[in-house]
Amino acid sequence: MAIRWTDSADKHGIPHEDALHAVANAVYEEYAFDEPRVPGHARPDLYIGPARGGAPLLEVMLEVLNPRDLVIFHVMIARDNHLRRMKGDGDE
């Protein structure tokens, strides 16, 4: 498996290890949850899971290039709109 990190994935200063932990231990996953941000790319997947140590919850967005390769392009502390989405309180 190859994992590629875009510059935007590092924008919020979350360590890569925390992002990978959040994906591997996700409490919420939504596949193809949004329109692609780059024309011609696949719809991204959303994962919400804990950073190492259990907190905070992180939101991680990634694109699966093939069954084994990932491009992680967004990592930050989970925002309220995604936490509501996780709880089923609307698709925001």
Which two three-digit tokens encode residue 15?
């360590």
Q: pTM here?
A: 0.86
Q: For each of the chain's 92 residues, which pLDDT tens digit applies?
A: 799 999 999 999 999 999 999 999 999 999 888 887 777 778 899 999 999 998 899 999 999 888 788 999 999 999 988 888 888 875 54
Location of structure tokens 């959040």? 22
Please, what sign has the CA dihedral across residues 45, 30, 15, 75?
positive
